[in-house]
Amino acid sequence: MPVIDPDTHDTPPPGFAGTPSLERERALAVELRSMPRPSRLGAPLGLEGQAADAAAALGLESKGDLLEHLPHSHRDRREVSQLAGLRVEEEATVEVSVRSIAVRPMRDRRRKRVEARVADDSGPTVAVWFNQPWLARQLVQGTRVRLHGRLKRRNQFWVAEHEVLGDGDGTGIHTAGLVPVYPATEKLSPARLRSLAWEARELIDDVVEPPHPPREPAGPACRGHR
């Protein structure tokens, strides 16, 4: 295809699919299907209290700042395993349904552990969380959930991360694919930042210039949090 120099070529370029030449007036009259709106990048994050203070410590004041706050690493959660194929002490991601759940006291009586009887197509196990008793209200019978953790003896699966899946939803932002890990603070975790970034992802269409280079960590407060 010949290259047309707009500074020396007088004939207007042809329209799409061989239609007649596209005159300037016709081109300007075409309705835009989408258009960047950079002003939306200045929208606040919507955080309050300690979370807002933590975001400010990271230099995050707007959704545009959030899009430039790049992850420092990724966790590989691309493979979902079957419970029956796991070995003791193997770390894995599994997708299960909750059959029942209960909160039980630990030996010191002050701490609690949540035990959920769960199963996938290959068999059952007991998923265990420590000191998160509120999960018993969230993970009711029939809930589909993706778990990442380690299989222990007595067919117990100690959960490090979990994510509730909606009806027919096999995706997730915390436990599926290559999961980004963002520089964070004690009051604003990588998981919270991941959720905020996911909610703001469509605003990338409003960026009209390449983002700035990744920010340097704001200080000691943002180190060591995973």
Q: What are phi and psi of 204, to 5 degrees?
A: -60, -25
* H runs (alpha helix) in the chain: 24-29, 49-57, 63-68, 135-138, 190-199
Residue 210 DSSP symbol: P
The rounded radius of gyration (Å) of the Cα atoms in the chain is: 25
Beta-bridge partner residues of 14? 21
Structure tokens at 61: 């004041």
Domains assigned to the chain: 39-72+186-222 (no CATH), 76-165 (2.40.50.140)
- Is the CA virtual torsion 133, 221, 162, 195 positive or negative? positive
Confidence tier at 29 by pLDDT (50, 70, 90): confident
Report the predicted TM-score, pTM, of the whole model to 2 decimal places: 0.64
Is the confidence at residue 214, as pLDDT, over 70? no
The whole-angstrom separation of Cα 178 and Cα 116 is 27
Say if residues 125 and 155 touch (Cβ distance below 8 Å).
yes
Mean pLDDT of 172-188: 86
pLDDT at 110: 81
Cβ-proximal residues to 28 (8 Å cutoff; 6+ apart), any chain: none
Which pLDDT tens digit goes with each residue over 41-84? 888 898 999 999 999 999 999 988 888 898 999 988 889 999 99
**For the CA atoms of 145, 150, 151, 154, what is the dihedral angle to 10 degrees?**
-100
- In single-letter form, the type of residue at position 175 comes to T
